[in-house]
């Protein structure tokens, strides 16, 4: 992936949306007048936020820009990693005299003390006259209180500029805060007649080199990858992010109610890349302490769990905000049936398998052309079809 693609998001979606004109109805009536230069500065803040992609979880990506009363860019910054200074603080540090300036930020400034102090106090102390924010922070600790605080201290506040772009940029964060579970991407490689493998138990390579590279780019950004025990038994995957930059751990999750995952699986040779969590049925964990011990001895964390929704909530409790569900068919179908899929990414290969194959979503209830905001991308010989099941905006 080029540096340009990196700031634009893996799929370039942000870059295209930035070219679209802003919608005037994105603003609540009665708020300040938005000028053309406001769009330019907010777009800069959105691009800065992109620099944090894949680095900030469980926090959102945020960018901020400070512009003086006479229109000079005097500060800019972005949230680099969880626990580090917020974007507004980076931007204000660059602007020692920000009196009367406007602060553009892609998310509502915080008003609570988390790992860092409240940004609203720093904004007020810096003498900022106006704040333009893309969207309200859904975190219940903020949720509009940041704007209320700023207005109460005489600062003009405009909210909603590039709202949709900002929400899509932080789709994992918005889903995580609203639902307490990760944003779930259902991902598969499929033949043109709708099969994901040649037959049960048959390891099948379907994707072009370009698709594999694209998929690694997604792995670089995601918090966790999930597979069913059937895929571990047939494919014995490593589930690591390869040939992409990723410095933080990648959690791997196996859904395995009968604990069939062997302790010799290749996955356990990659524990240095991140934790391996195995969700199993409580009865299995109680009945098979030896199997649990064998898996724990190779580094797995075995967690008894009732069902898929509770497993996904557990991942949320661990601070996992995004999950790439790579298969196979039974796990995809179960997540689909439980309405736990937010986004679908299917790499369609120019190959016919025939009816002996393992079908993608066995009950055929998902139509790729019906996905919201759907798009297609050529990946070598394959076509990537993707879109939303649950939109965030
Ligand atoms: N082309 C692709 O993109 C792709 C990707 C991955 C896999 N595959 C292929 O898909 C095939 C494997 O698919 P698969 O359907 O056999 O296996 P799978 O979906 O990987 O795993 C199925 C197993 O998951 C366990 N499981 C845990 N929780 C579940 C739940 N809530 N609902 C359903 N199952 C749950 C079940 O075993 P328990 O009952 O013991 O829990 C079930 O037998 C392989 O051929 C593999 O190569 C293709």
- pLDDT for 72: 93
Mutating to test ligand 1, I would choose from 218, 230, 360 the residue with most ligand atoms within 8 A of its C-beta, which is 230
In a domain, 180, yes or no: yes
Is 359 close to ligand 1, i.e. is its CB under 6 Å away?
A: no
Query: Could you give the CA distance from residue 231 to residue 138 in angstroms, rounded to a whole number?
Result: 36
Q: What's the CA-to-centroid distance between 227 and ligand 1, angstroms?
A: 7
- pLDDT for 35: 82
Shared domain check, 267 and 143: no
**Domain closes at, from 135, 169, 203:** 169
In a domain, 221, yes or no: yes
Mutating to test ligand 1, I would choose from 201, 257, 338 the residue with most ligand atoms within 8 A of its C-beta, which is 257
- Checking if the pLDDT of 100 tops 80, the result is yes
In a domain, 393, yes or no: no
- pLDDT for 17: 38
- Checking if the pLDDT of 181 tops 90, the result is yes
Q: What's the CA-to-centroid distance between 232 and ligand 1, angstroms?
A: 8
Is 256 close to ligand 1, i.e. is its CB under 6 Å away?
A: yes
Query: Mean pLDDT lowest for which of 97-101, 247-251, 355-359, 389-393?
Result: 389-393
Shared domain check, 266 and 251: yes
Give the CATH number for residue 214. 3.40.430.10
Give the CATH number for residue 66. 3.40.140.10
Is 334 close to ligand 1, i.e. is its CB under 6 Å away?
A: yes
* This prediction's pTM: 0.90
Shared domain check, 384 and 240: yes
**Domain closes at, from 169, 195, 222:** 169
Q: Report pLDDT digits (tens) over 213-239.
A: 999 999 999 999 999 999 999 999 999
Whole-number percent of the chain with pLDDT over 90? 80
Q: Which residues contact 240 (CB under 8 A, 6 or more apart)?
A: 219, 250, 270, 273
Shared domain check, 333 and 256: yes
Shared domain check, 315 and 264: yes
Q: What's the CA-to-centroid distance between 312 and ligand 1, angstroms?
A: 16
Residue nearest to atom 39 of ligand 1 (CA): 257
Average confidence score pLDDT of the chain: 90
Task: Say if residues 161 and 188 touch (Cβ distance below 8 Å).
Answer: no
The mean pLDDT value for 326-331 works out to 94
- Checking if the pLDDT of 51 tops 60, the result is yes
The mean pLDDT value for 51-70 works out to 95
**Domain closes at, from 111, 143, 169:** 169
The mean pLDDT value for 72-82 works out to 94
What domain range is 77 assigned to?
Answer: 3-169
HEC assignment per residue over the chain = CCHHHHHCCCCCHHHHHHHCCCCHHHCCCCCCCCCHHHHHHHHHHHHHHHCCCCCCCCCCCCEEEEECCCCCEEEEEECCCCCCCCHHHHHHHCCCCCCCCEEEECCCCCCCCCCCCCHHHHHHHCCCCEEEECCCCCCCCCCCHHHHHHHHCCCEEEECCCHHHHHHHCHHHHHHHHHCCCEEEEEEEEECCCEEECCCCCCCCCCCHHHHHHHHHHHHHCCEEEEEHHHHHHHCCCCCCCCCCCCCCCEEEEECCCCCCCCCCHHHHHHHHCCEEEEECHHHHHHCHHHHHHHHHCCEEEEECCCHHHHHHHHHHCCCCEEEEEECHHHHHHHHHCCCCCEEEEEEECCCCCCCCEECCCCCCCCHHHCEEEEEEEECCEEEEEEECCCCC
Shared domain check, 101 and 10: yes
Is 327 close to ligand 1, i.e. is its CB under 6 Å away?
A: yes
- Checking if the pLDDT of 392 tops 80, the result is yes
Q: What's the CA-to-centroid distance between 208 and ligand 1, angstroms?
A: 22
Whole-number percent of the chain with pLDDT over 70? 91
- pLDDT for 32: 60
Q: How many domains does the chain have?
A: 2
- pLDDT for 115: 64
Q: What's the CA-to-centroid distance between 362 and ligand 1, angstroms?
A: 11
Shared domain check, 283 and 161: no
Where does the pLDDT of residue 328 fall: very low under 50, low under 70, confident under 90, or very high at 90 and above? very high
Mutating to test ligand 1, I would choose from 228, 256, 305 the residue with most ligand atoms within 8 A of its C-beta, which is 228
Is 382 close to ligand 1, i.e. is its CB under 6 Å away?
A: no
Shared domain check, 132 and 90: yes
In a domain, 373, yes or no: yes
Shared domain check, 302 and 201: yes
- pLDDT for 116: 63
Is 198 close to ligand 1, i.e. is its CB under 6 Å away?
A: no
Shared domain check, 306 and 184: yes
Query: Could you give the CA distance from residue 182 to residue 317 in angstroms, rounded to a whole number?
Result: 10
Shared domain check, 367 and 308: yes
Shared domain check, 152 and 283: no
Residue nearest to atom 46 of ligand 1 (CA): 231
Task: Say if residues 63 and 48 touch (Cβ distance below 8 Å).
Answer: yes
Q: What's the CA-to-centroid distance between 231 and ligand 1, angstroms?
A: 5
Query: Could you give the CA distance from residue 74 to residue 80 in angstroms, rounded to a whole number?
Result: 19
In a domain, 57, yes or no: yes
The mean pLDDT value for 263-278 works out to 97
CA-to-CA dists, residue 378 to 13, 195, 218, 326, 350, angstroms: 14, 19, 16, 20, 12
Q: What's the CA-to-centroid distance between 334 and ligand 1, angstroms?
A: 10
Mutating to test ligand 1, I would choose from 200, 331, 346 the residue with most ligand atoms within 8 A of its C-beta, which is 331
Which residues carry out catalysis?
A: 88
The mean pLDDT value for 288-296 works out to 97
Determine how many CB atoms are found less than 10 A away from the CB of residue 303: 17
The mean pLDDT value for 326-345 works out to 95
The mean pLDDT value for 146-162 works out to 94
């Amino acid at each position: 992936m080029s540096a340009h693609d990196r700031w634009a998001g893996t799929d370039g979606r942000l870059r295209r949306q930035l070219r679209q004109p802003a919608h005037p109805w994105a603003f609540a009536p009665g708020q300040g007048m938005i000028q053309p230069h406001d769009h330019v500065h907010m777009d800069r803040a959105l691009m800065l936020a992109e620099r944090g992609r894949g680095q900030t979880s469980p926090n959102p990506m945020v960018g901020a820009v400070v512009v003086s009363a006479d229109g000079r860019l005097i500060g800019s910054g972005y949230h680099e990693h969880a626990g580090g200074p917020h974007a507004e603080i980076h931007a204000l540090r660059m602007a020692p005299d920000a009196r009367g300036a406007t602060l553009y930020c892609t998310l509502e400034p915080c008003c609570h003390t988390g790992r860092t102090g409240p940004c609203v106090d720093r904004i007020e102390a810096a003498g900022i006259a106006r704040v333009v924010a893309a969207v309200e922070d859904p975190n219940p600790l903020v949720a509009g209180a940041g704007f209320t605080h700023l207005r109460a201290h005489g600062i003009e506040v405009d909210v909603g500029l590039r709202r949709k772009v900002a929400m899509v940029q932080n789709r994992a964060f918005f889903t995580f805060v609203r639902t307490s579970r990760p944003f779930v991407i259902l991902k598969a490689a499929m033949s043109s007649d709708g099969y994901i493998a040649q037959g049960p138990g048959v390891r099948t390579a379907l994707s072009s080199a370009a698709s594999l590279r694209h998929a690694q780019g997604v792995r670089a950004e995601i918090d966790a990858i999930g597979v069913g025990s059937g895929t571990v038994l047939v494919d014995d995957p490593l589930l690591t992010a390869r040939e992409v930059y990723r410095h933080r751990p990648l959690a791997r999750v196996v859904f395995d109610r009968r604990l069939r995952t062997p302790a010799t699986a290749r996955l356990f040779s990659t524990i240095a890349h991140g934790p391996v969590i195995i969700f199993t049925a409580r009865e299995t964990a109680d009945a098979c302490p030896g199997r649990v011990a064998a898996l724990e001895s190779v580094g797995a964390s075995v967690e008894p769990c009732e069902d898929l929704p509770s497993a996904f909530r557990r991942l949320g409790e661990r601070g996992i905000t995004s999950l790439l569900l790579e298969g196979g068919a039974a796990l995809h179908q179960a997540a689909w049936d439980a309405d736990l899929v937010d986004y679908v990414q299917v790499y369609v290969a120019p190959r016919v398998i025939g009816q002996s194959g393992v079908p993608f979503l066995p009950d055929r209830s998902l139509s790729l052309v019906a996905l919201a905001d759907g798009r297609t991308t050529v990946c070598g010989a394959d076509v990537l079809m993707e879109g939303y099941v649950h939109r965030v905006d």
